[in-house]
Amino acid sequence: DAGVIQSPRHEVTEMGQEVTLRCKPISGHDYLFWYRQTMMRGLELLIYFNNNVPIDDSGMPEDRFSAKMPNASFSTLKIQPSEPRDSAVYFCASGPLAGGGTDTQYFGPGTRLTVL
């Protein structure tokens, strides 16, 4: 299996621009997670889906952030408009139901976002 695939790997944008991060989970996994990691705040769960349905989005910072999962093999995290404080590494992870779902997660390589 190719593992979790994220794109782009690096994104540099200017404040106010829209940013879209993409994720392809491991085939057959029922759960998909979006995380943000910074030195100051550590690893933060933003939102997660089970069978394409959002379960917990309490970690989404504000209305500028939105996430969708239109099908089992694709998800997006969108920031509009972006701000410098959104600069971070964004990870997507997926997990199998058989492995506990939310307890066994496989992370993608991450997208390093820099907002100028």
Partner 1 sequence: GQSLEQPSEVTAVEGAIVQINCTYQTSGFYGLSWYQQHDGGAPTFLSYNALDGLEETGRFSSFLSRSDSYGYLLLQELQMKDSASYFCAVRWDDKIIFGKGTRLHILP
Tokens of 92: 């997507």
**Given the complex with partner 1, which of 82 and 105 has the nearer CB atom?**
105
Q: Are 21 and 69 in contact (CB under 8 A)?
A: no
- Whole-Å CA distances, 64 to 18, 20, 72, 83, 95: 9, 12, 24, 9, 26
Least spacing, CB of residue 103 vs partner 1, in Å: 5
Judged by beta carbon, residue 52 or residue 81, the one nearer partner 1 is: 52
Contact footprint for partner 1 (CB under 8 A)? 33, 42-45, 48, 55-56, 58, 91, 93, 99-100, 102-110
| Nearest-approach distance from CB 6 to partner 1, in angstroms | 9
